[in-house]
Amino acid sequence: MLSRTSRIALACSTALLSTAIGTATAHAAQPQSQPADNSVVNVETGKSQCFTTFRQAIASTTHGRITNAPLSAKDIDQTLVERLRGTTGTRGAQDVQLGIIYEHSNYGGTSVTHSAGSGCRSGNGRDYQTDISGGMDNQTSSLTTVSCWMELRDSPARAGPARNTSSRPPTSGTP
C-alpha cells in the first residue's frame, strides 16, 4: 500500500496568508456566533473556506457527494475515510481529499481537510506542498491520511525535521 501512495508535503509556516484559516464562515446568517473550526483548503489554488461543523466542511469539499459525515472531525471513522478515497480518480469539478490535520491529539480541536483537483500518483514522489498558516502552524497534533502520504515539517518551504505517515496516527508529535 505504501508504494502505491504518494506523499503530500505539508510544511508548517508562521506566516499568515490572506486566506488564513478561520477568517471566513460558511454560514454567516446563523443566529449564534459559532467558531468556524473546520476548514477545507485546496492545495493547488490556496483557496480555503471554514465551517462550523465537520459535516459542512466534508459536504463542501466533496461538492455534496458526502453529506452525512459526523458533526465533529473527532468522530471520523475508517468507513468515511474509504468513502473519501472513492474520489481519488476524479478530476475537475470534484476535489479529491488528500488528508486531514487536527489541532489536538486523538483527532480533536480544529480540523483542516486538504484537497486538490486530482489524487496523488503512485510512488513516493511529492505531488503537493502547502504551508500551513492561520493558527495551525506548529499546532498539528494528529492527522488522517486519505489519498496521499503526509509529511509534516517544522518550518515553511520543506525546512526542518520531517514526520511522514501514510496511516491515521492519534498523535503526530511535534516535527
Q: Smallest Cα–Cα separation from 74: which of 114, 121, 37? A: 37
Q: Using CA atoms in the order 84, 89, 93, 96, what is the torsion angle rounded to 10 degrees?
A: 40
Side-chain half-sphere exposure of 63, counting CA atoms within 13 A: 12
pTM score: 0.69
Cα separation, 144 vs 113, whole angstroms? 9
The backbone region for 158, taken as left when phi is positive above 0, alpha when psi lies in -120 to 50, beta otherwise, is left
Residue 91 CA: distances (Å) to CA of 61, 67, 96: 13, 20, 8
Tell me the pLDDT tens digit for each residue of 113-147.
Answer: 988 888 777 656 666 666 666 566 667 778 888 88
Predicted confidence band of residue 33 (pLDDT cuts 50, 70, 90): low
CB contact at 8 A, 147 and 85: yes
pLDDT one-digit tens code per residue, 65-78: 999 999 999 999 99
The lowest-confidence range among 37-41, 54-58, 170-174 is 170-174
Residue-wise pLDDT tens digits, 83-104: 998 754 444 446 788 888 888 8
For the cut 70, the answer to whether the pLDDT of residue 17 exceeds it is no
